[in-house]
Amino acid sequence: MTRHVLTRAGSFCYRVAISLLLLRRRCGDAVDVGRPSRRIREDQRIPRARLERAAAQATASGALTYTPGNVQACITQLNNAYGSSPGNLPIATLNQINQICGQVFVGSVTTGGSCQVSSDCAVSGEICATAPGQSAKCEQPTPKTAGAQCLDIGDQCPTGDYCDSTMGSSTYATCTPAQTTGQPCSLTQPCDDNNSCTDGACALLAGEGAPCTTNSDCASGLFCDTYTDTEPATSVPACVTEYTFARGSVDCIGLEGQGTNGMAPGPEAGTSEGGGAEGGGGEGGTDGGSGG
């Protein structure tokens, strides 16, 4: 059977919203997407105009292109995850959703073109990287060893190192160990992957249940859940391993949009970064030392 191809980005965003409705079964709203009358009532709750605007914004810069051929894999992944009305959604499932749905809006920046994030790059395997005295461009990564020079765009220091060019010369930069817990840090002297720079010093990333602001505040295997209280006004985001869905649960309240910030990370289907559900272990310190 030939599937209908969603040629418009706004239609894709709408289908994502429909998939999210499946979680309402677990939250206490017995959605039956098979009944047209019920489907219509549910459809009316979805802000189509806002979804159209979000879709337009995703491609407005020209760095991302909507790719209809990758849509069905994303929708299938969402329906598989949400269709059984799960009681929880672990980070592994969220990461898988983000990986697949992150291919719906793909980069359109060619090799050597200016970029902001790696997902802007059109060529598979390329990263958005800088080098001393140069702006960010899409290039293939070139692995470097500890202590090696990292002068060219794409030079990538090993995990735990960063490209140090603080000597003030564009002709001298080396892969240098990042700062660890308790050591001073700054924009030019970052912390390692287990720490974040807080008030000028490296502090361990937050553990399960600890307060957070973004996913990068949390240790590996955790993400920042905005909804931790049945009263959204007093909810303090915290690092967790999964969403929990049950009638009256805090994440169900978040799903209904009754809070102020929205759920995080969730499947940011339709964005290239995929919502960053990978936790802080790979995001909070250095990024593998990509070219400075």
Structure confidence by residue, pLDDT tens digits, 164-217: 987 655 568 999 999 999 999 998 899 999 999 989 999 999 999 999 988 989
Percent of the chain with pLDDT over 90: 36
Question: Model confidence over 41-59: pLDDT tens digits?
Answer: 444 456 677 777 877 887 7
List C-alpha distances in Å: 36 to 6, 32, 48, 79, 213: 20, 9, 18, 18, 40
Mean pLDDT over 238-254 rounds to 85
The token pair that represents 266 in the structure block = 């969730």
Helix, strand, coil percent values for the chain (each to nearest 5): 30, 20, 50
Cα gap 244→229, rounded to integer Å: 12
Residue 251's nearest CA partner among 230, 272, 276 is 230
CA distance 246 to 254: 12
pLDDT tens digits, one per residue of 120-142: 999 989 999 988 888 999 999 99
Identity (one letter) of the amino acid at 149?
A: Q
Q: Which run of H or of E encompasses 71? A: helix 71-82
Give the model confidence (pLDDT) of 59-95 as tens digits: 787 878 888 888 999 999 988 888 777 788 899 998 8
Cα 260 to Cα 33, 189, 193, 253, 284, distances in angstroms: 28, 34, 30, 11, 24
Q: Is the peptide bond before 232 cis (omega within 30 degrees of 0)?
A: no
Residues paired with 244 in a beta bridge: 88
